[in-house]
Amino acid sequence: MATINDIAKYAGISIATVSRALNKPELVNADTRERVMQAAKKLNYFTNDKARQFNLKTKKLSLGVIIPYITSFYFGELYSGISRVAHENNIDLLLYELKSDNMAREGLTEAFSFAQRHLVDGVILASSHMPSEYDDLIEQLQMPVVLLLDAHESAKLPAFKVDDIRASFDAVAYLVSRGHRRIGMISALQTQRQERGEQLRLRGYKQAVDFYKLPYSHSFVVYGDMRFDDGYSAMKQLLAERDETGLTAVFAASDEMAIGAMRCIHDAGLRVPDDISVIGYDNLSVSNITTPKLTTIEQPFGQIGAEGARHIVKLLTEGEQLPEKGNFYMPYKIIERESVAENSASDK
Amino acid sequence: MATINDIAKYAGISIATVSRALNKPELVNADTRERVMQAAKKLNYFTNDKARQFNLKTKKLSLGVIIPYITSFYFGELYSGISRVAHENNIDLLLYELKSDNMAREGLTEAFSFAQRHLVDGVILASSHMPSEYDDLIEQLQMPVVLLLDAHESAKLPAFKVDDIRASFDAVAYLVSRGHRRIGMISALQTQRQERGEQLRLRGYKQAVDFYKLPYSHSFVVYGDMRFDDGYSAMKQLLAERDETGLTAVFAASDEMAIGAMRCIHDAGLRVPDDISVIGYDNLSVSNITTPKLTTIEQPFGQIGAEGARHIVKLLTEGEQLPEKGNFYMPYKIIERESVAENSASDK
């Protein structure tokens, strides 16, 4: 292991100054501190913990925020939550937008290299299912990582999110409580990675179908890629099979699909909620200005961002023994608006 | 002025190495280069231009992107435009969210300090009217600055935006072309800073009223704070005065207000566009999923971001003699959907 001597030599600074910089950093000027720090890092003088404590005394902390698709509807709210906590703690945020949603290894490698190039102290990784095969990248990063909105496959990292299965179960339970039994679902497309939040929603629906012993056949579920148009065409399919299924309500895995479904119902000459009730998932700001206004599941994106940020700040500043892994489930709620009605059909 | 000797001494590196690092930076390792560079900066060895050229050879460029309210609807598209150009040019982006929209001096000072702390090479400042009294801050920053979506009061900085007056004139002209003459406006609140984009829209409306000699009284214009609810209550006022004004169409200064107005018309038992036509401004993604779908003015946010970024990249990398000030107007267009109908009223 490197000694203070090595650092002094490497940095071209006297041993006494290096010692002072390491032990009483507040007594030496910022440039010297920085040079000592860089040398110490370079020579692996520090353990990570020591380096972090040194950082805390001498410089402003930074967090990297890595997120795919900042154009997604939840980005603003999620980032605002993170930002609020960062601001309270006098921490800089450096945002990095992942170029792909599928979390290719290359994209993640570039993102981590950005984080290292800009000397961040920890990383918040949002909305990216993290398969175990990337665990080596996380390890090489050598700094705390927190996940938001999605879980870590091997559950080695703390993840802040809503329990999609339970929330979806409750969406169906809500429809049941309003007298509906013939309930369709517009689900996310199912891919190999069945653990992604969107895909878990189908599992919640099916659990509720079992639990309440609701009528069910394959015609009750159609699939779409989460957007307005997908919801529209999915609903068309559901309407085409309605003679058989007798649907009175639909649960859509996203608000966009729910709004597309409502438009499809409208275009077919039927009314929401009088003929068919619709419940969505997301509580987009849009869902409050559609006609009728959409009843939906709200995920607390701001809170998810804030709690995730608070967790990593604690890891960095207090060195607390926090649980470093597992899912932290945040509270969701059902926002009741105008798109679900009491079912008065005969077979309820 | 500092000499190579001073740098060698300061950085604790031999004169020969310093000389090599400055003249053939590609021949020395990254750490040495960085140390030489920091020392040279510290000792004011570089003029800004020299430093920039040195930077170009040795490190990845970074741009600061300063923006108020990343929750605003246009942020994602604007940032994606900037991001695309940054990616093409292998440049890092560092985002900073201004905490206030009113561009208090303090907020801007903090943002610039973030930019300097993270060693960015240029700054893109979005959606922030820049009054002349902040010119000293811009000067102290000592790096290229480009404005997006808003103009510089003293017109000393390049600004990329839509010509709000012309676009609003054209929105009204479009209604006139569909046979409307009794046209109301839901305008942004007018404050002291009359040059802000939102407020210029009222000027475009008034120019069109004059140009086409449309009926007009104070009852034709109501004001709101740009959101859904504001549009709703503004429309209520317009409907209350409709006996007098005989409105057949409304131009709203934002899509949110337009959508609020449509809901108000719906709740009053009238139909859009059969009874009253509505045109918005923004082309929110929402406006394509309302019932009816909203006809509106589209600002090319992605293109505005991309052109602004391209401009600053040129300033940084090619040292081109670009015009460093003035407004660059980007093309807008009218998106025709379902909320405007041909007017068949008698007095057209």
Question: Which of A83, A117, A260 is the closest to B97 by Cβ?
Answer: A83
Pairing of strands B333-335, B295-298: antiparallel
Q: Which residues of A touch B291 (CB under 8 A)?
A: 263, 266, 290-291
pLDDT for B102 equals: 52
CB-nearest partner of B76 from A75, A83, A99: A75
B291/A266 Cβ within 8 A: yes
Q: Locate the domains of chain A by residue range.
A: 1-36, 61-162+302-329, 164-299
Contact residues on chain B for A289, CB-CB shorter than 8 A: 228, 256, 259-260, 263, 286, 290
Helix/strand/coil (H, E, C) string of A54-86? HHHHHCCCEEEEEEECCCCCCHHHHHHHHHHHH
Distance CA B147, CA B313 (A): 14
- Residue of B87, B114, B259 with shortest CB distance to A92: B114
pLDDT of residue B338: 97
Cβ–Cβ of A71/B76 closer than 8 Å? yes
3-state SS, residue A247: coil
Is B92 close to A291, i.e. CB distance below 8 A?
A: no
A227 touches chain B (CB under 8 A): no
- Which whole-number Å values give the CA distances from B213 to A205, B173, B177, B182, B207, in the listed order? 60, 12, 14, 10, 10
Q: Which of B136, B201, B174 is nearest to B333 (CA)?
A: B174
What was the pLDDT predicted at B57? 54
Residue-level pLDDT at A348: 46
Q: Does B90 touch chain A (CB under 8 A)?
A: no
Reported residue count of chain B is 348
Q: Work out the mean pLDDT of chain B and round it to a whole number.
A: 87
The architecture of the domain spanning B164-299 is 3-Layer(aba) Sandwich (3.40)
Any CB–CB contact under 8 A between B118 and chain A? yes
CATH code assigned to A61-162+302-329:
3.40.50.2300
Same fold yes or no, B61-162+302-329 and B164-299: yes
Span A143-196, pLDDT tens digits: 899 999 887 777 678 999 999 999 999 999 999 999 999 999 999 998 766 667
pLDDT on residue B204: 97
Mean pLDDT calculated for residue range B306-335: 85
pLDDT of residue B348: 46
Strands B326-329 and B158-161: parallel
> Which of A36, A72, A94, A255 to mutate against chain B (most B CBs within 10 Å)?
A94
SS3 B327: strand
What is the length of chain A?
348
- Secondary structure class of B200 (helix, strand, coil): helix
For residue B82, name the pLDDT band (cuts at 50, 70, 90).
very high
- Cα-atom radius of gyration of chain A, to the nearest Å? 25
Instruction: In whole angstroms, give the CA distance from residue B9 to residue B15.
Output: 8
List of chain A residues with pLDDT < 70? 1, 26, 46-59, 100-103, 128-129, 155, 192-195, 319-325, 345-348
* Cβ-Cβ contacts under 8 Å for A111 (sequence gap 6 or more): A64, A66, A96, A98
Q: What is the pLDDT of residues A96-137, one digit of tens each?
A: 998 765 567 888 898 999 998 888 999 999 976 677 888 899
> By the CB < 8 Å criterion, does A98 face chain B?
no
Count of CB atoms situated within 10 Å of the CB of A299: 24
* Over residues B320-343, mean pLDDT: 86
Which residues from A are below 8 Å from B114, CB to CB? 92
* Residue carrying the six token digits 């150009």: B85
Residue A73 to residue A127: CA distance in whole angstroms: 12
Q: A174 is written with which tokens?
A: 């809500």
Residues of chain A with Cβ-Cβ distance to B62 below 8 Å are 118
pLDDT at A302: 93
Q: Which two tokens stand for residue A243?
A: 């003679």
pLDDT of res. A78: 93
**CA gap A306, A296 in Å, rounded:** 23
Residue in B with minimal Cα distance to A14: B12
Residue B96 CB-half CA count within 13 A? 26
Judged by CB atoms closer than 8 Å, whether chains meet at A95 and B92 is answered as: no
Per-residue confidence at B58, pLDDT binned at 50, 70, 90? Answer: low
Cβ atoms within 10 Å, residue B154: 14
β-bridge pairing A333-335 and A295-298: antiparallel
| 8 A C-beta contact, residue B68 and residue B97 | yes
User: In chain B, which ranges are continuous DSSP H helix?
Assistant: 4-11, 15-23, 30-42, 48-58, 75-88, 105-117, 135-141, 164-177, 197-211, 228-240, 242-245, 255-267, 301-317
